[in-house]
Amino acid sequence: MAQKLKLVKGGARKATLVYGMRVYERDQLASIQDASAQLSDGSSSHISMHVIEGTYAQIRSQLMRSLEAFFDLLGEED
C-alpha cells in the first residue's frame, strides 16, 4: 500500500543542481563555451563548466572527488 506524504513545516530547503556531462573522443572537441541560466526574476546566472580528461576510470575518479569538494564547499544543510 502506498504511503501518504506528510508535509513538514520548516523542512530542509529545496534546491536544483544543474550539471551537464558529455564524453567526446580525444580530438573531436574544438571549443567549450560557458553556460548560463535564465532565472525566474528575469536575470541570468553564469554556470562554470568543468573539463576532465583521461580514461573513463580517471574521469570517474576525478568527477567523484569534484562532487565531494562541491558539497564540502556548499556546507551541510539538514
Residues linked to residue 38 through DSSP beta bridges, in sequence order: 44
Confidence of residue 2 (pLDDT cuts 50, 70, 90): low
Say yes or no to pLDDT of 1 above 60.
no
What type of residue sits at position 41?
D
Residues 25-46: tens digit of each pLDDT: 888 888 877 788 888 898 988 8
Mean pLDDT over residues 61-67, rounded? 91
pLDDT at 35: 83
Name the pTM for this structure: 0.61
Residue 75, classified by CB atoms within 10 Å of its CB into exposed (0-12), middle (13-18) or buried (19+), is exposed
Strands (E) in the chain, as ranges, are: 35-38, 44-47
Identify the CA nearest to 35 among candidates 26, 25, 27, 45: 45
Size of the chain in residues: 78
